[in-house]
Amino acid sequence: AQSVTQPDIHITVSEGASLELRCNYSYGATPYLFWYVQSPGQGLQLLLKYFSGDTLVQGIKGFEAEFKRSQSSFNLRKPSVHWSDAAEYFCARRGSGGSNYKLTFGKGTLLTVNP
């Protein structure tokens, strides 16, 4: 079955430091991949998505992600973290075949930003 794995449950970084959140996916030739952010009491907001083409995708709020087929990874990065980036981050993939509207999410990574 298709799955998305986020190996890090909780990450703490200092404000201004760089950030990388890991995401691995299983199964699928060319997965459609997404990163969402969820702030407390808020819904999921789409940061960026990858469908095909350039493997480095830019998103909102200064985030970017790189698709690496050889590693089955789609890691999210930001060069300099701001305190407002503290939130939970979810990696997701689109379903396949007739269920391609379904999103399968990882368990999330909680980001804490220290001043």
Partner 1 sequence: GAGVSQSPRYKVAKRGQDVALRCDPISGHVSLFWYQQALGQGPEFLTYFQNEAQLDKSGLPSDRFFAERPEGSVSTLKIQRTQQEDSAVYLCASSLAPRSYEQYFGPGTRLTVT
> Which residues make up the interface to partner 1 (CB under 8 A)?
4, 32, 34, 36, 41-46, 49, 90, 92, 94-95, 99-108
- Give the count of beta carbons closer than 10 Å to the beta carbon of residue 76: 24
* Nearer Cβ to partner 1 (78/94): 94
Beta strands in 51-108 (DSSP E): 56-58, 64-68, 73-78, 87-94, 103-105
To the nearest whole angstrom, how small is the minimum distance from the Cβ of residue 17 to partner 1?
Answer: 25
* Nearer Cβ to partner 1 (78/104): 104
To the nearest whole angstrom, how small is the minimum distance from the Cβ of residue 25 to partner 1?
Answer: 13
* Nearer Cβ to partner 1 (54/101): 101
* Nearer Cβ to partner 1 (45/71): 45
To the nearest whole angstrom, how small is the minimum distance from the Cβ of residue 115 to partner 1?
Answer: 26
To the nearest whole angstrom, how small is the minimum distance from the Cβ of residue 102 to partner 1?
Answer: 5
* Residue 41, C-beta contacts closer than 8 angstroms, at least 6 positions apart: none
Pairwise CA distance, residues 51 & 29, whole Å: 11
CB 18 within 8 A of CB 62: no
Distant-in-sequence contacts of 55-58, Cβ < 8 A, 24+ apart: none
